[in-house]
């Protein structure tokens, strides 16, 4: 009985992974600090975006491609939504479903941007799109306050991986 239950659980879990993201986790700025300064071997690619931001939406396919091409490497693409809180259910979730986004999407549940923008990058003025490629252990950081090309991301990630 227990085995069946476990199997069921694992299957459900795998299935939900295959299906993509059902819920969008709310994160705090402490999570950003953790990604940015943790002792992990993972390269984090943190993209700050919003559903209504045209240049952000235009560059999303690059992040999806990166996510797919580096799925076997310690690379984690996180799409950090800065949409309005009231738009999470009515805009963000439908958007993620419609575009079948495979990268990890989170909602940054913070009210005062002045308190967390510097956590991401001190040189960031706050304009989106913005992207941080970071490998905390190697102290590797590359920040873009603009729409990126796939080559920008790939170059940064490869450097971060040390290839």
Partner 1 sequence: MKQALQLSLLFFLFSAVSLWAQSGGYRVGDEARDFNLKNVDGKTVSLGKMKKAKGYVVIFTCNHCPFAVAYEDRIIALHKKYAKKGFPVIAINPNDKDIQPADSYENMQKRAKEKGFPFVYLYDETQEIARAYGATRTPHVYLLDKNRRVRYIGAIDDNHEEPNAVKERYLENAIEALLAGKEVPRTETKAIGCTIKWRASAK
Q: Could you give phi then psi for residue 138, rounded to 5 degrees?
A: -90, 0
Q: The tokens 């790939």 sit on which residue?
A: 154
**Of these, 28, 127, 138, 155, which contacts partner 1 (CB under 8 A)?**
127
4 is a contact residue toward partner 1 (CB under 8 A): no
Q: Which is nearer to partner 1, 97 or 115 (CB)?
A: 115
Q: Which is nearer to partner 1, 102 or 142 (CB)?
A: 142
Site string for partner 1, 12-51 (x = CB under 8 A): ------------------------------------x-x-
Provide, rounded to whole angstroms, the least separation between the CB of residue 156 and partner 1. Answer: 17
Q: Hey, what are 9's tokens?
A: 């659980």
Q: Could you give phi then psi for residue 16, rounded to 5 degrees?
A: -65, -30
User: Is 77 in contact with 105 (CB distance < 8 Å)?
Assistant: no
**Of these, 82, 103, 131, 135, which contacts partner 1 (CB under 8 A)?**
82
57/13 Cα distance (integer angstroms): 29
94 is a contact residue toward partner 1 (CB under 8 A): no
**Of these, 38, 68, 118, 149, which contacts partner 1 (CB under 8 A)?**
118
**Of these, 13, 33, 68, 84, which contacts partner 1 (CB under 8 A)?**
84
Residue 53 Cα to chain centre, angstroms: 16
Q: Could you give phi then psi for residue 133, rounded to 5 degrees?
A: -105, 120
Q: Which is nearer to partner 1, 8 or 58 (CB)?
A: 58
Q: The tokens 């299935």 sit on which residue?
A: 15
Write the DSSP symbol of residue 1.
-
Q: The tokens 């690379």 sit on which residue?
A: 75
Interface residues toward partner 1, by CB under 8 A: 48, 50, 52-55, 82, 84-86, 111-115, 117-118, 123-129, 145-147
């Amino acid at each position: 009985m227990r085995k069946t239950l476990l199997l069921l659980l694992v299957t459900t879990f795998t299935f939900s992974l295959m299906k993509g993201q059902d819920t969008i986790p709310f994160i705090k700025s402490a999570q950003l600090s953790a990604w940015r300064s943790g002792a992990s071997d993972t390269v984090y690619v943190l993209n700050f975006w919003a559903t209504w931001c045209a240049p952000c939406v235009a560059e999303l396919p690059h992040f999806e491609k990166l996510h797919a091409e580096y799925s076997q490497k310690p690379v984690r693409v996180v799409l950090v939504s800065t949409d309005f809180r009231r738009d999470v259910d009515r805009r963000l979730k439908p958007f993620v479903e419609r575009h079948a986004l495979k990268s990890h999407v989170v909602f940054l549940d913070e009210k005062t941007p002045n308190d967390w923008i510097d956590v991401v990058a001190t040189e960031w003025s706050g304009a989106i799109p913005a992207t941080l490629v970071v490998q905390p252990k190697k102290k590797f950081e590359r920040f873009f306050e603009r729409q990126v090309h796939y080559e920008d991301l790939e170059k940064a990630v490869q450097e971060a991986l040390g290839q």
